[in-house]
C-alpha cells in the first residue's frame, strides 16, 4: 500500500547516531531526510534500491571495494542497488536528502545515468536551492501526493545534470585554501596573497574546482561548525557565536540559504 506524503512525513526513525524522517513514499520513488551524528561510522552494507543523495550540510566519507571519496562540500551521489559500501561522518555530521528508486527503474533510460557509483562534489547552486526548497515543502506534510512526487522528479532531473569538476588534477594550493577557510573566516585577499595569486584568478579557479565562491565555502564551513552544536541542544545564539557568525540573524540567513530551513526548524530536525 502506498503511503501518502502527509502521513509519511510523520514517521521519524532512529538508529544509534542516525535519525531519518520519511518525506514521501510512493510507488515509483520515495524520499527521506537523514541526519548522521558527528563521528558516526557505518560498517559495510548494501541497499535494496537505487539511491540518489544530496549532501546538503556536513561532511561524509564513503568507501566501496574499488575506491573512496571524502566530501566536505555539497555533493550529489548515486549508489546503485546492491552496491557494497561503508560510511563515516566527520566532526560536523551530515544532513542528507535521499531519493530512493526501485531496482526495476532503469537509470540509463529514466535519468540518462550510464555510470555506476559516483559522487559529484560541485552541484550547481540551482540544485542546492531546489533541494532546500523541496525539503522545506515536504517537511510541512501539506503537499498533495501528486505535487510532492512531481517536485521530487524535478529535483532528480537537476541532480543528475549537476556539473562535474574540470579535467586534470586540482592545483596544490586549493587544499590549503580550503583548510584555512574551514578553520577561520579569512578574507579572499589574504588567501590569494598567501598563495601568491591574484585575487581574481584565485576566486575564479576556486569556484571552478569547488563549485562555489570562497565566501560561500567559508559560510558553509561556519554552518558546519554550528551543526553539532544545534544537534546537541545549544541555543541558536550560542551556536551562532561559537561557529563564528556575526549574530543569530546571520546564522539564520546562511542556514536558509544552504538548507531551505530556519535554524530553529533545522535544530528540531536534528534532535528528532
Which pLDDT value is given to residue 211?
74
Which pLDDT value is given to residue 164?
59
Per residue of the chain (272 residues), what is the pLDDT tens digit?
A: 333 333 333 444 546 688 899 999 998 899 999 999 999 999 999 999 999 999 999 999 999 998 899 988 888 999 999 999 999 998 889 999 999 999 998 888 888 877 788 888 767 677 888 888 899 889 888 788 888 998 899 888 888 866 556 777 889 899 899 888 888 878 888 889 998 988 888 888 888 888 778 888 888 889 989 999 998 999 999 999 999 888 999 999 888 888 888 888 888 888 87
Which pLDDT value is given to residue 35?
93
Which pLDDT value is given to residue 207?
81
Smallest CA-to-CA distance from 92 within 128, 33, 43, 39 is with 39
Measured CA distances, 224 to 5, 57, 95 (Å): 29, 7, 10
The three-state secondary structure class of 24 is strand
Dist. CA 137–CA 127, nearest whole Å: 15
Alpha helices in the chain (DSSP H): 5-8, 107-111, 125-140, 145-160, 172-183, 188-194, 199-210, 214-231, 236-243, 248-259, 263-271
Which pLDDT value is given to residue 170?
85
Count of C-beta atoms within a 10 Å radius of residue 57: 23
Dist. CA 137–CA 182, nearest whole Å: 30
Which pLDDT value is given to residue 270?
86
Which pLDDT value is given to residue 122?
67
| 8-state DSSP, 245 | -
Dist. CA 29–CA 42, nearest whole Å: 24
Do 254 and 245 contact (CB within 8 A), yes or no?
yes
Task: Tell me the Ramachandran region of residue 185: left when phi exceeds 0, alpha when psi lies from -120 to 50, beta otherwise.
Answer: beta
Checking 173-179 for CB contacts under 8 A at 24+ apart, the result is 173/197, 174/205, 174/206, 174/209, 174/210, 177/202, 177/206, 177/214, 178/72, 178/210, 178/217
Smallest CA-to-CA distance from 77 within 104, 55, 101, 110 is with 55
Which pLDDT value is given to residue 239?
92
Q: 0.95 exceeded by the pTM?
A: no
Amino acid at each position: 500500500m502506498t503511503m501518502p506524503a502527509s502521513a509519511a512525513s510523520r514517521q521519524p526513525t532512529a538508529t544509534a547516531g542516525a535519525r531519518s524522517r520519511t518525506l514521501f513514499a510512493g510507488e515509483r520513488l520515495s524520499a527521506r531526510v537523514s541526519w548522521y551524528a558527528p563521528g558516526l561510522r557505518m560498517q559495510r552494507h548494501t541497499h535494496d534500491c537505487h539511491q540518489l543523495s544530496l549532501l546538503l550540510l556536513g561532511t561524509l566519507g564513503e568507501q566501496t571495494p574499488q575506491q573512496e571519496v571524502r566530501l566536505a562540500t555539497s555533493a550529489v551521489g548515486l549508489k546503485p542497488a546492491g552496491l557494497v559500501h561503508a560510511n563515516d561522518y566527520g566532526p560536523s555530521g551530515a544532513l542528507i536528502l535521499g531519493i530512493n528508486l526501485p531496482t526495476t527503474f532503469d537509470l540509463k533510460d529514466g535519468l540518462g545515468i550510464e555510470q555506476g557509483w559516483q559522487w559529484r562534489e560541485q552541484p550547481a547552486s540551482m540544485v542546492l536551492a531546489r533541494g532546500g526548497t523541496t525539503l522545506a515543502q515536504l517537511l510541512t506534510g501539506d503537499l498533495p501526493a501528486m505535487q510532492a512526487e512531481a517536485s521530487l522528479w524535478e529535483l532528480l532531473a537537476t541532480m543528475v545534470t549537476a556539473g562535474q569538476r574540470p579535467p586534470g588534477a586540482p592545483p596544490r594550493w586549493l587544499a590549503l585554501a580550503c583548510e584555512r577557510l574551514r578553520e577561520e573566516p579569512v578574507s579572499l585577499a589574504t588567501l590569494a596573497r598567501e598563495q601568491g595569486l591574484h585575487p581574481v584568478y584565485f576566486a575564479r579557479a576556486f569556484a571552478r574546482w569547488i563549485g562555489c565562491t570562497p565566501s560561500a565555502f567559508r559560510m558553509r564551513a561556519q554552518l558546519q561548525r554550528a551543526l553539532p552544536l544545534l544537534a546537541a541542544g545549544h541555543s541558536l545564539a550560542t551556536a551562532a557565536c561559537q561557529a563564528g557568525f556575526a549574530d543569530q540573524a546571520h546564522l539564520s540567513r546562511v542556514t536558509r540559504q544552504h538548507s531551505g530551513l530556519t535554524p530553529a526548524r533545522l535544530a528540531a530536525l536534528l534532535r528528532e
